[in-house]
């Protein structure tokens, strides 16, 4: 078995609250192999986002170990974790989190600014990424001019622009209607088919069925971890190009 992209051992996170420390994660262990597509489910408040933020190196655990691509994140300094966020991980948020005053192309190119890539190459790669998520004609637009589904595509393009090994998404379809959600899931599936590891949070069963593995949280613990493969056509029969914007997502075979 190849080295896991994510390896979490007895992870715990306590939040400081006025009422004392609150355990949001209690003893979570998980391994995710390269190329996996994992859906995390669980009721609200079960610790999914807390877990995801730690996986994304945005937050640090209180106890336990987190190895990202074999490296113990606790041993890294701030610049090194910034570099991980920049190159190894692509993070997609529920609220898109695009910068409102920047054109879509500039938004997508922003991670490249922080890896010291020149202007020309940044624009070229951002353009290619926008093309890939089906928004090639919108490079100069502002985020406020496009729909939520389109904004999420841009956010995915931004997460992809620096060729990450791992895409983390915290309820990426939470703000979208079901049709648009299917399209976005189609994008994630296509990326996973290209070999990128995808871990996403959702509270909708339909969405979770796009993944091949389902991890369920409850009260800060993993209570279920099983494949969803039986609900989906085999991966081999599922090689397809990324769906175009407005095109019908292929992600509802179940």
Partner 1 sequence: MLGAMLREAWRAMGANRLRTFLTMLGMVIGVGAVVLMMAIGQGAQYSVAQTISSMGSNIFVILSGYTSTGGVRSGGGSAPTLNVSDAEAIAELDGVDTVAPVHWGSVQMVRGPNNWNAWVHGTAPAYFDARSWPIAEGSAFTDSDLRAATRVAVLGRTVAQNLFGDEDPVGKTFRIGQAPFTVLGILAPKGQNLEGRDQDDLVVMPLTTAQRRVFGTAFQGSVRQILVKASAPEVMPALEKNMEALLRQRHRLREGADNDFTLRNLTAVAESAAATTRVMSLLLGAIASVSLLVGGIGIMNIMLVSVTERTREIGIRMAIGARERDILAQFLLEAIIISVIGCAIGLALGVGGAALANTLAKMTVVVSGSSVLIAFAVAAGVGVFFGFYPAKKAAGLDPIEALRYQ
Ligand X SMILES: Nc1ncnc2c1ncn2[C@@H]1O[C@H](COP(=O)(O)OP(=O)(O)O)[C@@H](O)[C@H]1O
Residues lying near ligand X in the complex (CB under 6 A): 15, 17, 22, 24, 42, 44-50
48 vs 212 by CB, closer to ligand X: 48
Our finding on whether 192 is near partner 1 (CB under 8 A) is: no
> What is the closest distance, in whole angstroms, from the C-beta atom of residue 178 to partner 1 in the complex?
27
Candidates 46, 49, 81, 150; binder of Mg ion (CB under 5 A) is 49
> What is the closest distance, in whole angstroms, from the C-beta atom of residue 11 to ligand X in the complex?
12
Our finding on whether 141 is near partner 1 (CB under 8 A) is: no
Partner that binds at residue 46, options partner 1, Mg ion, ligand X, none, CB closer than 5 to 8 Å by kind? ligand X
> What is the closest distance, in whole angstroms, from the C-beta atom of residue 110 to partner 1 in the complex?
6
> What is the closest distance, in whole angstroms, from the C-beta atom of residue 168 to ligand X in the complex?
13
Partner that binds at residue 15, options Mg ion, ligand X, partner 1, none, CB closer than 5 to 8 Å by kind? ligand X
Neighbour-count burial for 43-65, b at 16+ CB within 10 Å, e otherwise: eeebbbbbbbbbbbbeeebbebe
> What is the closest distance, in whole angstroms, from the C-beta atom of residue 52 to partner 1 in the complex?
11
Partner that binds at residue 228, options Mg ion, partner 1, ligand X, none, CB closer than 5 to 8 Å by kind? none
Our finding on whether 87 is near partner 1 (CB under 8 A) is: yes
Q: Which of 192, 224, 191 is nearest to 40 (CA)?
A: 224
> What is the closest distance, in whole angstroms, from the C-beta atom of residue 48 to Mg ion in the complex?
5
44 vs 144 by CB, closer to ligand X: 44
Partner that binds at residue 239, options Mg ion, partner 1, ligand X, none, CB closer than 5 to 8 Å by kind? none
17 vs 237 by CB, closer to ligand X: 17
**How many CB atoms lie under 10 A from the CB of residue 14?**
16
By CB under 5 A, name the binding residues for Mg ion: 49
């Amino acid at each position: 078995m190849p080295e896991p992209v994510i390896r979490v051992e007895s992870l715990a996170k306590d939040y400081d609250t006025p009422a004392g420390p609150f355990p949001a994660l209690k003893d979570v262990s998980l391994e995710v192999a390269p190329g996996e597509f994992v859906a995390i489910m669980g009721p609200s408040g079960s610790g999914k986002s807390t877990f995801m933020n730690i996986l994304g190196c945005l937050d640090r655990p209180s106890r336990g170990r987190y190895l990202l691509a074999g490296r113990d994140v606790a041993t890294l300094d701030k610049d090194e974790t910034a570099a991980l966020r920049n190159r190894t991980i692509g993070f997609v948020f529920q609220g898109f989190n695009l910068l409102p005053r920047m054109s879509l192309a500039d938004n997508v190119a922003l991670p490249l600014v922080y890896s010291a890539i020149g202007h020309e190459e940044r624009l070229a790669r951002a353009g290619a990424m926008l093309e890939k998520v089906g928004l090639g004609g919108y490079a100069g637009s502002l985020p406020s001019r496009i729909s939520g589904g389109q904004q999420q595509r841009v956010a995915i393009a931004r997460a992809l622009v620096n060729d990450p090994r791992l895409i983390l998404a915290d309820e990426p379809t939470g703000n979208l209607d079901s049709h648009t959600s299917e399209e976005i899931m189609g994008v994630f599936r296509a990326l996973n088919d290209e070999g990128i590891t995808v871990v996403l949070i959702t509270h909708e069963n339909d969405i979770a069925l796009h993944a091949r593995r389902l991890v369920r949280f409850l009260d800060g613990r993993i209570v279920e971890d099983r494949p969803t493969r039986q609900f989906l056509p085999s991966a081999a029969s599922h090689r397809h190009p990324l769906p175009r914007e407005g095109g019908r997502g292929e992600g509802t075979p179940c």
